[in-house]
Structure 1
Amino acid sequence: MSFPDTKLTVRSPADLVAAVPYLLGFRPADGSIVVIASNHRRIVFAARADLPPSTPAGELADLAASLVPVVRRQQSITDVMLVGYGTADHIDPALPAVGEAFTASGIPVRTLLRVTDTRILNLTCDNPDCCPPDGMPFDPTASLVAVQATAAGLVALPDRAAVAARFAPVTGAARDSMRRATTAAAARLKVVTGAGAAVLDQVGAHAVRDALRRHKAGEHLTDDEVACLTLLLKRTSVRDLAVDFTQPRDQHVTFWADITRRADEALVPAPATLLALTAWRCGDGALAAMAADRALQVDPAYQLADLLRQALQAGLPPSAFEQTTGQTRSNSSTQ
């Protein structure tokens, strides 16, 4: 079984478990269920959800009802594999229940795996020779898949908190400096505002292009430059130009994560949404969802972030989102 867009190969349950953190971008915590969808043994999609604490039938049915449509929206799915993380009493009843929902929808379930501490139990195999009742020992650091994934440039952060830390707000003296820089930049931009919308858009376009160019060259923007950029991004037209200028590259993810970290709190929605969209285009759904949530935390009515979050929850590909939101972005004048 192969990864999308890589030459890594999964040959065993241990390989599959080793692959999960690289598919998600972080290591799932206990209480997680991961759905891995494949097309004729090629992995094409992975999604993670939290299991209800006590796994009652009704809540499991609700969970399955949310997961199945997400997977069905992916193209050319031939089967799925489910991996649950936690204790036997929590995971063992949940995996078959969710698996039955996929089977009932017409999607075969090939494997049910439980990961408890450093052991893997295959719930779909009753052969004690290859699947002992107490599970198989598992060391993710010794997996060939982990070595190959790292060599291929794939990253698996320790947990979701480590993902969120990539764009967490700066604090202390750095935050105070950005506050002062934003106040000063707002005063300077008042002069440009009087020249009209077209001039502001030109200034914004130049600021975005120049910032991305300098980041590529390894330069670090000053607080004054970040402040000016984030103020300009308040304009929908400038933000949409930034969407067009930004490419699905890791360096652009890093750039927008830095701008989101340093932006004044009120100015976070635009760069956080740009981070979310760029991460999604790069295949990092976890970072995309968290960044969109960060934008909506500051401004619950921020339309582009809300649309992006809905698309992520529905399992839509970035191409479909861009097609359906192009008109919305071009007509928007309030975000």
Structure 2
Amino acid sequence: MSFPDNKLTVRSPADLVTAVPYLLGFRPGDGSIVVLASRDRHVVFAARADLPAPGAPASHLFDLAANLVPVVRRQQPITHIMLIGYGDPDHVDPAVGSVGDAFTASGMTIRQLLRVTGTRVYNLTCDNPACCPPQGTPLDPASLVAVQATAAGLVALPDRAAVAARFAPVDGAARDDIRRATREAIARLKAVSTAGNAAVDEAGAQAVRDALRQHDGGRRLTDDEVAWLTVLLKRPSVRDLAADLTQPHDRHVTFWADVTRRAHEPLVPAPATLLALTAWRCGDGALAAMAAHRALQVDPAYQLADLLLQSLHGGLPPSVFEQAIAAARTNPSTR
């Protein structure tokens, strides 16, 4: 996950571990491994993956390393790698060591191997008790790093479930209301369509501009406005315009998260993909990947979401997806 150049002062392994949730957007759970790639003294890439379960065949760990190494190599130039494992030492220590060996064998330099167990961090590459006590170093949730991250506007949600909750679909009466509004929006669209595609594009452009302007002004869209917007976003030209007008800041992440969670289920892919793109542009790879998965859950053939997800997994920058959007505009078959 690439992320904006927020300044966090890291002076120790404990500081580094404290910074990780703010870089990822959530706190990694036990059984996770985090890879940080640095260029000189700046972290330029961060990724989280699940370690194979205890007792899993060794090939699973080899597969994990084989996936991580090329992704990190694409971030060149980088000067060193830091690996952080989370969980029980019997499970984490050998796994982190094996992944570290794979990076070393590929020609990359490992600066630190760390393990987080509970509220303590252990340095697996240092056996000097003066700086790396065998009992570990306590983590301080109120450290300077946490204060700096909060001041920079970075958020660390409790876990991945909390990230997914940002755009979880509404239910109950709210779901019934959006279904009613969507039926009316579809009827409205049919009426507009009688004037031709240009009329639909014009209506879509107006709806996107109005929705973003209202949100930026502090007003939440009504159900009728959400329904009208999402019906129009099904048209690729309208969705692409929305991508152009959406800005890489948290306000628009919040906007598309709200539209995604309130959209009628069959209309989720377009706003979910726009949420994924906006989150990605803001450096929130976890939210971007989850939103893209949500789009594909509803429509497995939604190509832009699939391209975005492939680019994320490949460690490529958002500019790759921008190129995919440009290609979609010249290919009517791209959805």
TM-score (norm: length of structure 2): 0.97
Report Cα offsets for 1:15-43 as digits up to 9, x if no partner.
Answer: 00000000100000000000000001211
Instruction: Tell me the matched-pair count.
Output: 332
SS of 2:290's partner is: helix
Instruction: Say if 2:320 is the partner of 1:320.
Output: yes
Q: CA deviation at 1:247?
A: 1.1
Change (3 A) 1:329 1:78: farther
- Check the 8 A contact 1:208/1:229 in 2, yes or no: yes
Instruction: Say if 2:89 is the partner of 1:84.
Output: no
- Check the 8 A contact 1:304/1:329 in 2, yes or no: no
Alignment of 1:9-20 (within 5 A): 9-20=9-20
Report Cα offsets for 1:94-145 as digits up to 9, x if no partner.
Answer: 0110001101111111100000001111000011222122212223x22110
- Check the 8 A contact 2:307/2:324 in 1, yes or no: no
Q: CA deviation at 1:214?
A: 0.7
Alignment of 1:126-137 (within 5 A): 126-137=127-138
In structure 1, the partner of 2:187 is 187
- Check the 8 A contact 1:236/1:333 in 2, yes or no: no
In structure 2, the partner of 1:53 is 53
Q: CA deviation at 1:221?
A: 1.0
In structure 1, the partner of 2:331 is 331
1-side partners of 2:258 and 2:298: how far apart?
A: 17
SS of 1:150's partner is: helix
1-side partners of 2:253 and 2:4: how far apart?
A: 20
Instruction: Say if 2:135 is the partner of 1:114.
Output: no
Q: Which runs of 5+ in 2 are unaligned?
A: none
TM-score (norm: length of structure 1): 0.97
Instruction: Say if 2:264 is the partner of 1:264.
Output: yes
2-side partners of 1:298 and 1:209: how far apart?
A: 26
Q: Percent identity?
A: 75
In structure 2, the partner of 1:234 is 234
- Check the 8 A contact 2:24/2:46 in 1, yes or no: yes
Report Cα offsets for 1:26-74 as digits up to 9, x if no partner.
Answer: 0000000000000012111100000000254211110000001111111
2-side partners of 1:177 and 1:304: how far apart?
A: 29
Change (3 A) 1:225 1:178: same
Change (3 A) 1:324 1:262: closer
SS of 2:288's partner is: helix
Amino acid at match of 2:215: H
Q: CA deviation at 1:330?
A: 3.2
Amino acid at match of 2:116: V
Amino acid at match of 1:243: A
2-side partners of 1:248 and 1:116: how far apart?
A: 35
SS of 1:111's partner is: strand
Amino acid at match of 1:217: G
Amino acid at match of 2:147: V
In structure 1, the partner of 2:201 is 201
SS of 2:153's partner is: coil
2-side partners of 1:135 and 1:262: how far apart?
A: 46
2-side partners of 1:4 and 1:219: how far apart?
A: 27
1-side partners of 2:145 and 2:320: how far apart?
A: 31
- Check the 8 A contact 1:4/1:42 in 2, yes or no: no
In structure 1, the partner of 2:308 is 308
Report Cα offsets for 1:300-327 as digits up to 9, x if no partner.
Answer: 0000000000000000011133235421
In structure 1, the partner of 2:22 is 22
Query: Which structure is richer in relative contact order (CA contacts within 8 A, separation 6 or more)?
Result: 2
Q: CA deviation at 1:230?
A: 0.3
- Check the 8 A contact 2:280/2:318 in 1, yes or no: yes
In structure 1, the partner of 2:145 is 145
Q: CA deviation at 1:248?
A: 0.7
Instruction: Say if 2:158 is the partner of 1:158.
Output: yes
Instruction: Say if 2:101 is the partner of 1:100.
Output: yes
Q: CA deviation at 1:332?
A: 3.2
Q: CA deviation at 1:329?
A: 4.0
- Check the 8 A contact 2:4/2:283 in 1, yes or no: no
Q: Which runs of 5+ in 1 are unaligned?
A: none
- Check the 8 A contact 1:4/1:43 in 2, yes or no: no
Q: CA deviation at 1:91?
A: 0.2
2-side partners of 1:75 and 1:318: how far apart?
A: 16
2-side partners of 1:102 and 1:280: how far apart?
A: 26
Q: CA deviation at 1:328?
A: 3.1
2-side partners of 1:124 and 1:68: how far apart?
A: 20
SS of 1:331's partner is: coil
Amino acid at match of 2:187: A
2-side partners of 1:238 and 1:329: how far apart?
A: 11
Change (3 A) 1:162 1:234: same
